[in-house]
Amino acid sequence: MKKSSPRILFVDGPNLNVLGKREPSVYGGQTLEDIRKDVSDAARREGAAVEFFQSNHEGEIVDRLQRARGEVDGIVINPAGYTHTSVAIRDALVYCALPAVELHLSNPSMREPFRKVSLVEDVVAGRICGIGGYGYVLALQAILHLLREKGRDRAGR
């Protein structure tokens, strides 16, 4: 049987559409398009299929996560400002029942106190923070690793 490519959905929350122009000293100079190109190149090398979604609207992110259930194999999510406030995005991630990696360009733990709280950190497999745009490529590698481990577990190792 031909092994199909793992499908990974990247979800980006509010204000990440203006990366590059937005506080470059915190988030770096890369645009979201630049980052997506690097992720797509890495995905091609890894034999993975990637899809990207960005929205400034909480409900649209919830809708996209709901559709992801059964449609993709894993999720990389940067909920951006909603990381610290959104029970709805957390609940949608739980509903997905998919391996997920939480990602931040900056390291929220080193910033204002309100950023130290993540409402999704305990419903994801792991977190990558503070590595800038390259964190997205690392997150792709991380989620593919988790999926490979899961496959091995299923096969009984």
* Residue 56 is a binding residue for ligand DQA (CB under 6 A): no
Residue in the structure block whose two tokens are 């994801």: 124
Say whether 129 sits in a helix, a strand or coil.
strand
Q: Which of residues 60-79 bind ligand DQA (CB under 6 A)?
A: 78
In sequence order, the β-bridge partners of residue 50 are 8
Give catalytic status of residue 104 as yes or no: yes
* Residue 17 is a binding residue for ligand DQA (CB under 6 A): no
Smallest separation (angstroms) from ligand DQA to the CB of 100: 15
Can you tell me which of 50, 105, 128, 144 binds ligand DQA, judged by CB under 6 A?
105
95, 104, 134, 145: which is the annotated catalytic residue?
A: 104
CA distance 36 to 43: 10
Q: Which of 28, 10, 20 is nearest to 75 (CA)?
A: 10
Residue 3: count of CB within 10 angstroms of its CB = 7
Residue closer to ligand DQA by CB (options 72, 105) is 105
Q: Which of residues 108-147 bind ligand DQA (CB under 6 A)?
A: 108, 115
Contact 129, 103 (CB under 8 A): yes
Q: Name the residues that contact ligand DQA, by CB under 6 A.
A: 15, 78, 80-81, 83, 104-106, 108, 115
